[in-house]
Amino acid sequence: MDTYKNKIIAGDCIELLSKAKEPFADLVFADPPFNIGYQYDKYHDKVEKNNYLAWTKDWMAACVRVLKPHGSFFIAIGDEYAAHVRLIGEELGLTLRNWIIWHYTFGQQTKAKFARSHAHIFYFVKDEKNFTFNDDEVRVISDRQKIYKDKRANPFGKLPDDVWNEFPRVCGTFDEREGWHPCQMPESLLARIIRASTMVGDRVLDPFSGSGTTCVVASKLKRTYTGIDISPHYVEEAKKRIRISVDEPIAGEVPLKWNSHFDSELKWLYHENKITTDELEENDILSGLFANKFNLRVGTLDTPYLPKDILKRLVYLRKGAKLGPLQRNNKKTSISKEKQNGKVVSGRDRCSCKTV
């Protein structure tokens, strides 16, 4: 399948993947049609249930066949068929590691039921004992560090849990949105998956390439990619997105000037860690942790950007309305109320989780 290395191809993914002579993908990310009535360029997303399920098993089997023994397989799907996809994965011999809930803002509004504002992301592996998981690549600053200042906390932060609420849907008014495709995943969500499950140079496969986000992010993170989509129009537009990102810097090259890629990484970290610019300005420890994570992400640990410079850029992006709303809970407020009421609450009582 080297013929398709760093390419997006027009065609049927089941037919094209059946031609592969051996497994080639280290990671498969699939965001298939949900069978809920969307009108795509070359496909109307509404077929009879049994036909949809049979087709789902066929394309999943095709992906499993080209997945390397240590490979990971992520599938995004809606409520209607989530349980079916989970069972099909089991039938195909995959091991489920996480059933992730992607909770997003700007959900569909309803009148007769609660508004839906989530999707399911299944994280499967082919071998339950042999897989790639780069935990340090996706750790975030923990509450033990951020709020409780607990010395037991892992200095590299904690792993995100399996409810992801840092990534809003890519709506039509967003700068990131490509207007030629009806559905688009946020780059930051794909970045977390690709960082966690692949190494630099590994191959990422997206059998429903669509707007090309998976391939774009793989390229930015120095992975190789193969994208497939049934629409020649979507393929050509996705290739344009790839060409625009071709000049992104290679992590670790020195010196590195500030660029749009750094802004993207900075915004991703801001939303992942849910720390306001005011908190960073007031807390030198938090500011240092945040700066270290940023320099690790962009490969500037040898010549790091200082916390004050990173904060200055964050403030600039915030004032320019380029950061987006920060979703977070209000633990800090609740703790201050406890103090005001004269209660003494230990860190262990506030957090029943194990030290990370």
What is the predicted pLDDT for the residue at 337?
40
What is the predicted pLDDT for the residue at 339?
42
306: three-class secondary structure by DSSP: coil
What is the predicted pLDDT for the residue at 268?
87
Do strands 224-229 and 7-10 pair parallel, antiparallel, or not at all (unpaired)?
A: parallel
What is the residue whose two structure tokens read 């592996």? 125
Reported as type and span, the H/E element at residue 81 is: none
What is the residue whose two structure tokens read 């969500």? 189
Work out the end-to-end distance of the chain between its first and last CA atoms, rounded to an integer number of angstroms.
41
Select 2-244's CATH number: 3.20.20.70, 3.40.50.150, 3.10.20.30, 3.40.50.300: 3.40.50.150
Which residues, 6+ apart, have CB-to-CB distance to 243 below 8 Å?
Answer: none
What is the predicted pLDDT for the residue at 253?
32
Q: What does the alpha-carbon distance between residue 284 and residue 177 come to, in Å, rounded to a whole number? A: 35
User: What are the angstrom distances between the C-alpha of 101 and each of 55, 110, 153, 160, 322?
Assistant: 24, 20, 26, 12, 26
What is the residue-wise DSSP string for 104-135? Answer: EEEEEP-SSSPPEEEEEEEEEESSTTS----H
Structural domain spans, the chain: 2-244, 253-342
What is the predicted pLDDT for the residue at 202?
98
In degrees, to the nearest 5, what angle opens at C-alpha 59 toward C-alphas 58 and 62?
90
In degrees, to the nearest 5, what angle opens at C-alpha 132 toward C-alphas 298 and 220?
30
Listed as ranges, residues in the chain with pLDDT below 70 are 1, 38, 42, 105-108, 170-182, 246-256, 299, 301-302, 327-356
What is the predicted pLDDT for the residue at 265?
86
DSSP E strand boundaries for the chain? 7-10, 25-30, 67-77, 95-108, 116-125, 163-164, 203-206, 224-229
What is the predicted pLDDT for the residue at 340?
41
- 268: amino acid identity, one letter: W
Q: What does the alpha-carbon distance between residue 132 and residue 125 come to, in Å, rounded to a whole number? A: 9
- How many CB atoms are closer than 10 A to CB 36? 11
Q: What is the pLDDT of residues 33-69, one digit of tens each?
A: 999 876 777 677 788 999 999 999 999 999 999 999 9
